[in-house]
A and B are shown apart, each in its own frame.
Chain A
Amino acid sequence: MAHQVNGGVLEDTFQHLRACGCGRRECQVLWLSSWDSPQAITKVMHPRHKSHLGGFVLDDQWLSDFWLDLANANMGIRVQVHSHPGEAFHSPTDDAFPIIHKPGFLSLVIPNFGLGPVGFNEAFLAEIQPDGRWQEVAIASRLMLA
């Protein structure tokens, strides 16, 4: 079943990728939804992180604090979204260090530091399989613009 992503979530996502990355650094945001309605993505979270041209690392203490906030808000992470300098794909680092490890978790990669048009054009979507491996999936099969 596909997640519903409203235009505001996508706009916010590109805004963060552009403002934080400045066309020089990668950036990550997280798409959240309530556990009462997991398919409806309603919130974009911009994690505290360090980044450079070819990568990013989330701040460790921020992650612990965020874990508590998520539970208090009854929300879960459905999709991790990050930018690449050029082409969008899932690198070995992306494969090895996701924020969530459950089968069905999605990772969306946006090309060109998010400086292109807002949308899924040339983006790459991967999904964790039951055996833990990542597999590319068609964006339209998992994310539905509302």
Chain B
Amino acid sequence: MHILTLIFLLLGLLFFTGGTVGILRFPDFYSRLHPAGKLDTMGLLMAMAALALYCFGEFSIASLFTGLKIILIVIFVFITSPTATHAIIDAGVRAGLEPWTKEKRKDMP
């Protein structure tokens, strides 16, 4: 059980690292939202799965309910994180932010 916890925790930290590097390095606001969404869903799923497995490891009613609450956090984030990402993108589109292109086009100011 502890080996599974370690593997899932390391995978979650790997996804968190990739998301942070992507947020720092991508050139545009729209492309920066892509690693942000990955970091929210995938990294949090892996890390929370590791912690829930660790809680399920000790056999008692209290730790069982704690693990179920951790799974509830994951379900909540899986509903709300795409909603938040879509709201941010909607704000960017309505405010008129232009997507990043490699060469500046002539017809754009």
Same complex: no
